A and B are shown apart, each in its own frame.
Chain A
Amino acid sequence: MTSTTPSTGSTSRAPVRRLGDRLFAGTSRGAGILIVLILAGVAGFLIVQAAPAFTAPRADVPGGHGVVAYIAPLLFGTALAAVLALLIATPLAVGVALFITQFAPRRLAQGLGYLVDLLAAIPSIVYGFWGIAWLAPRLTPFYAWLADHLGFIPLFAGPASVTGKTMFTVGLVLGVMILPIVSAISREVFLQVPSLHREAALALGATRWEMIRMAVLPYGRSGIIGGAMLGLGRALGETLAVAIVLSASGGIVTFNLISPDNPSTIASNIALQFPESTGIGVNTLVASGLALFVLTLAVNVLARAIVNRRSQFSGAN
């Protein structure tokens, strides 16, 4: 480790430092500090602006039962939509990444890779329109079937939505939206698996799939988790697509994915309510934003913990 503190000139043994090194060290340190400042600034803004919502009389807060009662269903809806998206997207994304890196012929793999990346370039409002105009109507017969045949499972209790503007549709749309980021990151780590490890498995008499299970997936594990967490972050914060697709009713907490009454999500609720809010209403919305901020932070800490727990076995050492 080299120290980057500037020498005072009082000691003659000060190590020689080049101007270029000092400039570079200073710039990168500045960038690092800037990130912390920005994050602290955002957190500070959220806390200051949200505070009145917590101190105000409960009846003044939108909904009339206090800020916690207002935010809790939103937090639940946000988490439900994001987890649903993650459950749909992760296996699919890992499958796509495995196909591209391990099975597809090189030329097909490249084209397919670009195509998946292209999904990430589509603006979220387009996904919203696609969800509401194309996907939702086509899912309604499926929801009716689910409610009829699998209605005993609370997830599909129904009554089935006739518009298709359900939590399940939102999960699907969000899943498609986060698919490219999860798959792109998985693809990158799968490509980095040293051929030494893959050959070790093959030379032991592993089939292609066994080789993937022995060498590729364990090596790419932290990358898959990292990609999934980035995707989860996007799903948690997605605003427009959810606002367009979801038929939300305030204050509901339900695991029923296919009914017309759904909990809203924090981001889409802010987008829909903000223009009509004043005074304590705005503070309440900011408080919900603070809750989303904390949730995202918690998810990231958790992901980091999962990745670190087995870092000795990660292959990085």
Chain B
Amino acid sequence: MAKRIDVSDLNIYYGDFLAVADVNVSIEPRSVTALIGPSGCGKSTFLRSLNRMHEVLPGAHVEGKVAMDGQDLYGPDVDPVDVRRQIGMVFQRPNPFPTMSIYDNVAAGIRLNARKMKRTELDDLVERSLLGANLWKEVKDRLNRPASGLSGGQQQRLCIARAIAVEPDVLLMDEPASALDPISTLAIEDLMTELKERFTIVIVTHNMQQAARVSEQTGFFNIAGPGQPGRLIEFNPTEKIFSNPDEKATEDYISGRFG
């Protein structure tokens, strides 16, 4: 079930340092939302605050509100573990569990949720998830081999399979293709187009062509200078951002005048 995310007046801190300030944005379900901007502008930090991965670092915290279909994710009795079970994440560098087989990697999230499942059901789910991540054909004969034996692009698709296996409401992707070659990148982008039928997808990318290719909405983050907090400068439909942006800074960034 894809869900919408509403962020209001969000400030994100590392200890006392304000890293991202005053974000207000609504992320639509069943669509791809891309976040672009120069390095260090806080787009990854913002992404990690959506599933409460930000606070894993010591001292990191947020102020403001993030709501998923109206439910406050930072509410006083909300367990971050539950939030992360509903909002999946794919990281910049492929990170399958090296000590597990391909099969066990995909099943890892389901086993965490402690859902009792028959072996055949689990087999089906693993197959479906790997099919969903366009990896099934390549690995179906070696499901019990270590995940670390796959190529980088395959590992990243395995991570996507692992994330979608638990049927999350939202899928966050932090530069999912930046460590991959163009062919693997294309595979991941095609996959995003398929996955947005079922999930809300938020992707951080440095590749503006990628943002233009895959997303419906685009947010542009920027930073005024070193030590300043990053801000969401503009949030608009992708077509508008890349043809006729409201903000001068967006246009400068997109046309390559800086960053």
Contacts from A to B (Cβ < 8 Å): 106, 194, 196-197, 199-207, 210, 214-215, 218-219, 221, 312-317
Cβ of B75 under 8 Å from chain A? no
**CB pair A204 B109 closer than 8 Å:** yes
With contacts A196-B93, A199-B53 known, is A205 near B112, CB below 8 A? yes
CB distance from A136 to the nearest CB of B (A): 42
Nearest CB to that of B92 among chain A residues? A196
Cβ of B51 under 8 Å from chain A? yes
CB distance from B58 to the nearest CB of A (A): 8
**Contacts A201-B97, A205-B86, A219-B99 given; 18 further ones with Cβ under 8 A?**
A196-B95, A199-B95, A200-B96, A203-B89, A204-B84, A204-B88, A204-B108, A205-B109, A206-B112, A207-B81, A210-B112, A214-B97, A214-B112, A215-B97, A313-B98, A313-B99, A314-B99, A317-B98
| A294, B87: Cα distance in complex, Å | 55
* Subset of 18 A-B contacts with CB under 8 Å: A106-B58, A197-B95, A197-B98, A200-B96, A200-B97, A200-B159, A203-B84, A205-B82, A205-B86, A205-B109, A206-B112, A210-B112, A218-B99, A313-B100, A313-B148, A317-B98, A317-B146, A317-B149
B58, B82, B98, B148: most-surrounded residue (chain A CB, <10 A): B98
Nearest CB to that of A205 among chain B residues? B85
Nearest CB to that of B172 among chain A residues? A203
Cβ of B209 under 8 Å from chain A? no
Mark out the residues of chain B between 54 and 98 whose CB falls within 8 Å of any chain A CB in the assembled complex.
Answer: 56, 58, 81-82, 84-86, 88-89, 91, 93, 95-98
**CB pair B109 A315 closer than 8 Å:** no
User: Which residue from A202, A203, A218, A317 sits with its C-beta under 8 Å from B97?
Assistant: A218
CB distance from A220 to the nearest CB of B (A): 10
Nearest CB to that of B58 among chain A residues? A106
Over the window 187-227 of chain B, the binary record of Cβ atoms lying under 8 Å from chain A Cβ atoms (1 yes, 0 no) is 00000000000000000000000000000000000000000
| A218, B96: Cα distance in complex, Å | 13
Mark out the residues of chain B between 26 and 67 whose CB falls within 8 Å of any chain A CB in the assembled complex.
Answer: 51, 53, 56, 58
Contacts from B to A (Cβ < 8 Å): 51, 53, 56, 58, 81-82, 84-86, 88-89, 91, 93, 95-101, 108-109, 112-113, 145-146, 148-149, 159, 162-163, 166
Nearest CB to that of A215 among chain B residues? B97
| A219, B97: Cα distance in complex, Å | 9
CB distance from A255 to the nearest CB of B (A): 36
| A214, B108: Cα distance in complex, Å | 8
**CB pair B166 A204 closer than 8 Å:** yes
User: Which residue from B56, B96, B100, B101 sits with its C-beta under 8 Å from A202?
Assistant: B56
| A204, B56: Cα distance in complex, Å | 13
CB distance from B45 to the nearest CB of A (A): 14
**CB pair A203 B81 closer than 8 Å:** no
Residues from chain B with Cβ under 8 Å of A205 in the complex: 81-82, 84-86, 109, 112-113, 166
Residues from chain B with Cβ under 8 Å of A316 in the complex: 98
Nearest CB to that of B96 among chain A residues? A200
**CB pair B95 A317 closer than 8 Å:** no
CB distance from A194 to the nearest CB of B (A): 8
Residues from chain A with Cβ under 8 Å of B58 in the complex: 106
CB distance from A61 to the nearest CB of B (A): 50
Residues from chain A with Cβ under 8 Å of B91 in the complex: 196, 199-200, 203
Residues from chain A with Cβ under 8 Å of B166 in the complex: 204-205
Residues from chain A with Cβ under 8 Å of B108 in the complex: 201, 204, 214
The 9 lowest CB-CB distance pairs between A and B, nearest first, are A205-B85, A218-B99, A315-B98, A203-B89, A196-B95, A205-B84, A204-B109, A200-B95, A312-B146
**CB pair A317 B84 closer than 8 Å:** no
**CB pair A203 B88 closer than 8 Å:** yes
Residues from chain A with Cβ under 8 Å of B159 in the complex: 200
Residues from chain A with Cβ under 8 Å of B149 in the complex: 312, 317
Residues from chain B with Cβ under 8 Å of A219 in the complex: 98-99
Nearest CB to that of B90 among chain A residues? A203
User: Which residue from B56, B89, B98, B163 sits with its C-beta under 8 Å from A314?
Assistant: B98
Residues from chain A with Cβ under 8 Å of B97 in the complex: 197, 200-201, 214-215, 218
Residues from chain A with Cβ under 8 Å of B146 in the complex: 312-313, 317
CB distance from B168 to the nearest CB of A (A): 9
